Structure 1
Amino acid sequence: MNSSRPKVCHISTIHQRYDSRIFYKECGSLSKAGYEVVLIVADGLGNETKNGIKIIDIGKPKSRFERFIMYAVRAYKTALAQDALIYHFHDPELLIIGYFLRNKKKIVVYDAHEDLPEQIKGKKYVPAIFRMPLSRVVNLLEIYFSKRMSGIVTATPFIRNKFLKFNSNSLDVNNFPILNGDIHSFDWQNKKNEVCYVGTIAEERGIKNIVKAMDKVDNAILNLVGEFESKQLYNETIEIDGWSKVNEHGFLNRTGVNSVLAVSKVGLVTLLPNKNYIEGLPVKMFEYMLAGIPVVASNFPAIEDVVKDKGCGICIDPLNPDEIASAVNYLLANDEEAIRMGANGQRSVIEKYNWTVEEGKLFGFYLGLTANSSL
């Protein structure tokens, strides 16, 4: 290992190699800060070096079972061969290899993107009778292994508070937007009576109630950007009254998304009430705010703390299409208020809710780990 350039190894067998949080934010920031960064992935797309980050591909598993067993072993062996100063992994199923790396006296960080035990309770591919027992078992395993990690990084303060109970070296590094040349001040005069939803299209993210609400929105269309989670959900959604007001874009790159944001007057973040969402801060909300458009968002405490405090949108009951429609209609009918809210949101992201602030926390966390290698 080149001691003049500390080496860190990030590992994920689930996430795509260009994952926003892992590749562009964490690995990208560490590389620019002078770390030698290796990212181990399992997508079958081959090895490469991009943006100064060395990507090692261990192949693509054919099944969940293969990923859990064979690819965990493969990831462990590949990681160990890197002889890194810090190992930072992103998947709960890799806690076991984190444990083995700790036994090799390595500095190991677990990055908890979500509250897995709570998430399992809503997994439809797990038979309902097994969800609660499985959630409890996973919770016990997560506690056991996390206690033995050098530190825990989490995607929200709420997940951090959970891990602080059994690992005092836990820190939230929030998934806020990167500030770069992508900051836009879209001319409101160029906007149309359009609202937008950008992201994965899933039932738990409120798509059905959004479409129902559009049936009650006056003279407007919904720009729907993203891919449906399943064909079944797509078939069910297109039968809902209100679909005639949907402009379906499918997946768009950043340039395409910016084009949609440029003409939209409202951004929708109407997540349904499960614990991960109730206690989370949706990245998409901050991206709408950065674009200078007001948000209509779920009335969960963490979201309300931002939206109401910064005056950047309206919070509604995501289970109530009438409330969604009422909020959208209000913003479309009151341009001055919408412009004011949009400006408030953009200013708050530039000043506070951005990746520059969060990367500083990550750098400090890493320095603390290396200063106290007994962790």
Structure 2
Amino acid sequence: MSTLKKKSIISLASCPFRQQPVLRKEAATLTKAGWQVSVIAWDRRTLHPAFDTVDAVAVENILIRGSYGTGSLSMIVKTLMFWSIAVVRLIKKRNTFSILHCQDLSTLLPAFIASRLLRKVMVFDAHDPYPEMLALTQPRLMVSVAAWIEKFFCRRVDAILTVNGLMKQRFEKITARPIYIVYNYPELEIFKAEAKPVAADRTPLVIGRIGTLAENLGIEETIAAFIAVAEEFDVRLLFVGRLADTLRDKVLRLIEPVRDRVQMVADIPYFQVPAYYRQMDISMVLYGGQGISPYVSPMKLFESMAMAVPVIASEVGEVRSVMEKSGCGLVVGCGDAPAVEAALRRLLRDPALRRQMGENGLAQARAEYNWEMEGKKLISMYEELLGADAYTRE
């Protein structure tokens, strides 16, 4: 057995560090706690320098042009190239880190190879149930391969880091390795709620959704409900986030009757997100019933709470338990457009209820659902792994 003492972590990621608010938040927390953090990341758009420094974190970008979410032969070859380069770079940097953190399924193989060769502690940071997520868009064979890869490596890593109790239960069915939970709560230092004007002074009312517009995210139900209530109320619809190519034509067609009352904002830097919440009177956090839905504790729910915005959310994952505990909004069934419309009408007609639900959410965010408190768990996890006999190899 070997005991590691150096407080140093390297993270292997499949997309640029600058575009990953969660990874940046984790890195900043560890850096403040005295850890040395570095990153090796795949920049598929080749938008960033090969060597970069972000938030005091040294970043090496592997510049191989590619796309996301496709299983083409070209992307398979490029993925193999990324894996090979990543392993070589990890070996070269072997004296600079004690713990190897891999962020998603696509980095498991190179991280595992390097950790075995170098006898380093390996942590798999699993935010999503990847096979279930792939099942929405990819062939069954690819989903089966992803499920096998996940099971194989989860039984061999030193620890798994995930985002809620439901995900922990899911991983407990496939591995006996240690599983840690660190929720992806917002930083109150960034998400600062501001008092909204009284209802009479605030028109039109803004119904908003922040995040990617894609399948299984209740986009159609949101638009249908908005069109229905727009006949009675002075409202605007705000979408902030990338519109998936597979949904573009459908969304543009659906919003056509109310196009002059819909604002669509493409991808924005994460630091700008709170400004858009400040424009919103109601936050939509809807899901379909497929894919990752049974396991979610949506970041957008907690961000809305931190910004004192009342929420209408689908009954998926941990949503109902959070919302019933906090009283921050209304829960509707997945895909239930009439229920979404009814919830919207109820909140639009009752400014006092909107304000109370917003205040309820803010109070709970300040008391519990915030990164300032949750980040301490991340530090404790890594300190425990650093001090333990980490090499539990088969």
With normalisation by structure 1, the TM-score equals 0.91
AA at the equivalent of 1:138: A
Give distance in 1, aligned partners of 2:244 and 2:271. Answer: 23
1:19 aligns with 20
Deviations 1:104-133 (A, max 9, x none): 31111111121112122212xx34xxx1x4
Give the 3-state SS of the residue equivalent to 2:322 in structure 1. helix
User: By how many angstroms is 1:9 displaced?
Assistant: 0.1
User: By how many angstroms is 1:337 displaced?
Assistant: 1.0
Does the Cα contact within 8 Å between 1:316 and 1:323 map onto a contact in 2? yes
Give the 3-state SS of the residue equivalent to 1:31 in structure 2. helix
User: By how many angstroms is 1:311 displaced?
Assistant: 0.6
Q: Does 1:168 align with 2:169?
A: no
AA at the equivalent of 1:266: I
Does the Cα contact within 8 Å between 2:305 and 2:362 map onto a contact in 1? yes
2:91 aligns with 80
Matches within 5 A, 1:301-320: 301-320=317-336
2:148 aligns with 140
CA 236–243 in structure 1, closer or farther in 2 if over 3 Å, else same: farther
User: By how many angstroms is 1:96 displaced?
Assistant: 1.5
Of 374, 378, 386, which residue of structure 2 is paired with 1:358?
374
2:194 aligns with 185
Q: Does 1:60 align with 2:64?
A: yes
Q: Does 1:112 align with 2:126?
A: yes
User: By how many angstroms is 1:357 displaced?
Assistant: 2.4
2:391 aligns with 374
AA at the equivalent of 2:135: K
Give the 3-state SS of the residue equivalent to 2:377 in structure 1. helix
Matches within 5 A, 1:1-375: 6-14=7-15, 16-23=17-24, 25-43=25-43, 44=46, 45-46=48-49, 47-62=51-66, 63-83=74-94, 84-104=97-117, 105-123=119-137, 126-127=138-139, 131=140, 133-165=141-173, 166-189=175-198, 191-192=202-203, 193-217=205-229, 218-219=232-233, 220-230=235-245, 232-240=246-254, 243-244=258-259, 245-253=261-269, 257-372=273-388, 373-375=390-392
Does the Cα contact within 8 Å between 2:192 and 2:274 map onto a contact in 1? no
CA 252–181 in structure 1, closer or farther in 2 if over 3 Å, else same: closer
Give distance in 1, aligned partners of 2:33 and 2:289. Answer: 38
Number of aligned residue pairs: 365
Tell me the C-alpha RMSD between the 2 structures: 2.1
Give distance in 2, aligned partners of 1:138 and 1:42. Answer: 19
CA 135–250 in structure 1, closer or farther in 2 if over 3 Å, else same: closer
CA 258–365 in structure 1, closer or farther in 2 if over 3 Å, else same: closer
With normalisation by structure 2, the TM-score equals 0.87
Give distance in 1, aligned partners of 2:177 and 2:185. Answer: 24
Give distance in 2, aligned partners of 1:358 and 1:64. Answer: 36
Give distance in 2, aligned partners of 1:181 and 1:251. Answer: 18
**Percent identical:** 23
Give distance in 1, aligned partners of 2:317 and 2:7. Answer: 40
Does the Cα contact within 8 Å between 2:21 and 2:270 map onto a contact in 1? no
CA 255–275 in structure 1, closer or farther in 2 if over 3 Å, else same: closer
Give distance in 2, aligned partners of 1:260 and 1:68. Answer: 36
Does the Cα contact within 8 Å between 2:282 and 2:311 map onto a contact in 1? yes
AA at the equivalent of 1:110: F
CA 140–34 in structure 1, closer or farther in 2 if over 3 Å, else same: same
Does the Cα contact within 8 Å between 2:101 and 2:124 map onto a contact in 1? yes
Stretches of structure 2 that go unaligned for 5 or more consecutive residues are 67-73
Give the 3-state SS of the residue equivalent to 2:207 in structure 1. strand
Deviations 1:50-90 (A, max 9, x none): 21100111212435213421101111111222221000011
AA at the equivalent of 2:149: L
Does the Cα contact within 8 Å between 1:102 and 1:149 map onto a contact in 2? no
Give distance in 2, aligned partners of 1:102 and 1:249. Answer: 41
Q: Greater shift after overlay, 111-120 or 185-194?
A: 185-194
Does the Cα contact within 8 Å between 1:191 and 1:262 map onto a contact in 2? no
CA 4–300 in structure 1, closer or farther in 2 if over 3 Å, else same: closer
2:71 aligns with none
Give the 3-state SS of the residue equivalent to 2:19 in structure 1. coil
Give distance in 2, aligned partners of 1:88 and 1:207. Answer: 34
AA at the equivalent of 2:384: G
CA 177–364 in structure 1, closer or farther in 2 if over 3 Å, else same: same
Give the 3-state SS of the residue equivalent to 2:63 in structure 1. coil
CA 18–135 in structure 1, closer or farther in 2 if over 3 Å, else same: closer
AA at the equivalent of 2:92: A
Which one scores higher on RCO, CA 8 angstroms, separation ≥ 6?
Answer: 2
CA 31–256 in structure 1, closer or farther in 2 if over 3 Å, else same: closer
